[in-house]
Amino acid sequence: MAKPSGTDAHREKILKVALSLLTKEGRDAVTTRNVAEAANVQPPVLYRIFGDKTGLLDAVAAYGFTAYLKKKQPPDAQRDPVEALRVGWDIHVEFGLLNPELYLLMYAEPRSGTESPAARQAFAMLAEHMQHVAAAGRLRFSVTRACALYHAAAVGIVMSLLTKSPAQRDTTLSTIARNHALTLITTDTPVAPSREIPAAASQLRALLSQRGKEQIPLSKAEHLLLSEWLSRLAE
């Protein structure tokens, strides 16, 4: 196995130190000066690897988030896709409450209309699970709207709970919010197309997405047009 390069070794060391500072002392402690000093590297090394402070913070969030991703399970065709959403919610909330500073860095860092790369990665995983719910015919809305609602509810619950001390947190609120969100966006059984056009359109769109364009006997233009029609019907 090849040994890590000097840059890779410095990157790993800096990220470990920065994550430790974040966890123990909070977001304000993660300054380029503090991190460089604690990692025993010169500031130019830090800037060369991460570009600027924003790049460093994004890398710290992604590095810490790796542990969370290892807990997440990829969609499984043999598993109830709605149950997978339920489990995913609980893992998300648990991660936020156990790693408050990292969670806030991912979701509450002030930005100009964008999310941190780690937050985008988490949302992409949710979308993948939601596609499986749609493919099973159990989604009432489009994948896009269902993901937006479910994600907003989960993040909102974590943010609300983090305003309380651990002893004051009513974690049953998470269960209530999760169950209400699932009831709103999913069905217990596949929805008949004649009754729920949006659900049928969302299901067909998800199935086509899973197959891949190369397996669908349509031209590129036809595929784009069909996707647009299904998206409009799903909304």
CATH code for position 43: 1.10.10.60
Residues 16 and 127 in one domain: no
Neighbour-count burial for 193-230, b at 16+ CB within 10 Å, e otherwise: eeebebbbbbbbbbebbeeeeeeeeeeeeeeeeeeeeb
Measured from the Cβ of residue 29, the count of other Cβ atoms closer than 10 Å reads 16
Residues 174 and 230 in one domain: yes
Predicted confidence (pLDDT) per residue in 210-234, tens digit: 766 566 777 878 777 878 888 887 7
Predicted confidence (pLDDT) per residue in 90-108, tens digit: 999 999 999 999 999 888 8
Give me the amino acid identity at 79: R
Query: CA–CA separation, 98 vs 42, rounded Å?
Result: 32
Residues 167 and 198 in one domain: yes
Domain contains 2: no
Domain contains 61: no
Please give the residue range of the domain that contains residue 171.
67-234
Domain contains 186: yes
Please report how the helices 32-39 and 43-50 are oriented relative to each other, as an axis angle in degrees rounded to 10. 110
Domain contains 58: no
Residues 47 and 75 in one domain: no
Residues 42 and 95 in one domain: no
Q: Comparing 204 with 29, which gets the higher pLDDT?
A: 29
DSSP code of residue 163:
T
Residues 206 and 98 in one domain: yes
Residues 80 and 175 in one domain: yes
Residues 14 and 91 in one domain: no
In the chain, helix, strand, coil percent, each to 5?
A: 75, 0, 25
Domain contains 35: yes
Domain contains 62: no
**Contact criterion met (CB below 8 Å) for 158 and 106:** no
pTM: predicted TM-score of the whole model, two decimal places: 0.74
Q: Of all residues in the chain, what percent carry a pLDDT higher than 90?
A: 38
Residues 19 and 93 in one domain: no
Q: How many domains does the chain have?
A: 2
